[in-house]
Amino acid sequence: MSLFARIAGTGSYLPPKRLTNQDLVDQLAAKGLESSDEWIVERTGIRARHFVDDGVHASDLAFEASRRCLAAAGKRVSDVDLIIVATSTPDMVFPSTASILQHKLSLAALSDGDDEGGAGGAAFDVQAVCSGFIYAISVANAMIQTGAATTALVVGSEVFSRLLDFNDRGTCVLFGDGAGAVLLEACEHDGSGPGILATDLHADGKYCDILCVPGTVANGRILGDPLLKMDGQAVFKLAVGVLEKTARAVLEKAGKTEADVDWLVPHQANIRIMTSTAKKLKIPIDRVVVTVDQHGNTSAASIPLALDHGVRAGDVLPGQTVLMEGVGGGFTWGSALVRM
């Protein structure tokens, strides 16, 4: 018998404010910038996205997604001994968003009558931009397999709207805010049961400048540019190639083939990247979970958001094999193969 980390529950949350393409087109027009709903949809597949209100942070979105995830898994906060939050938009420089989330969950648990609260287990952030959730779930899987944790809450949460340059029509229409979560728990079986079957992670820092926010905080002020910069063509070209490679690599590690994949749950960045990857893997588009049209690119939140959407829609079912993959700034990329 081997030790696996199985997905016991999923959850997600989107802030109430929903902006259609036309809403953004009107905002751009007020600045003298031209765009259109047709232009955005044709190039990205995005039709709408959600933005947070002032005063709402990544930990707030993570909190809502986590509570829904715990409810779906039938678990209490006190059952969790590891929290990992994947985010590029933390609440503050430090402490980690995961620590802040742990505190909010513990307070909620106590108010709900759980005397044990939920504090005490390890909590930390992972920063790999849009690949962050894949990195985080890989770390949690390794910790469960080594016995360092038994029940892990893994969350992707982003407020990318605060990094956007609304004078750049090429990037401000792409991103949205949201959070998604999964609860992993240790289980033993002979390899035929549920669990993470394999993961695959990569990075190549020489591409760090094609997608970045080149600013930092120093001496009480911002140094550099705190807004998102992207070379769209370079990102597209690199993403299509590495996503196919990591998908094939994780399948090989697990002793599986493309034919064994029931669902592809990719990072929701651009519908053209997603369909191109699916085509290369010979996975029909109707077996790809797509939320980019309504969520935009929510960075580290996009994969768990899409997974939860698929689960709650009744599409992704127990026993099915799911291939998750992402690519993001760094340049980072990776994949995870999971039996639900």
Positions marked catalytic: 130, 267, 297
Q: Which of 160, 124, 154, 128 is nearest to 140 (CA)?
A: 154
N-to-C CA span, the chain? 18
Q: What are phi and psi of 325, to 5 degrees?
A: -150, 150
The most distant pair of C-alpha atoms in the chain lies apart, rounded to whole Å, by 64
Q: Which of 186, 177, 227, 140 is nearest to 62 (CA)?
A: 177
| Contact residues for 137 (Cβ-Cβ < 8 A; gap 6+) | 154, 182, 184, 196, 199, 324, 336
Cis peptide bond N-terminal to 266, omega within 30: no
Q: Which DSSP category does 318 fall into?
A: T
At 233, which amino acid appears? Q
Q: How far is CA 14 from CA 65, 72, 185, in A?
A: 9, 17, 25
Residue 49 contacts residue 175 (beta carbons within 8 Å): yes
Query: How many Å apart are CA 156 and CA 134, to the nearest integer?
Result: 9
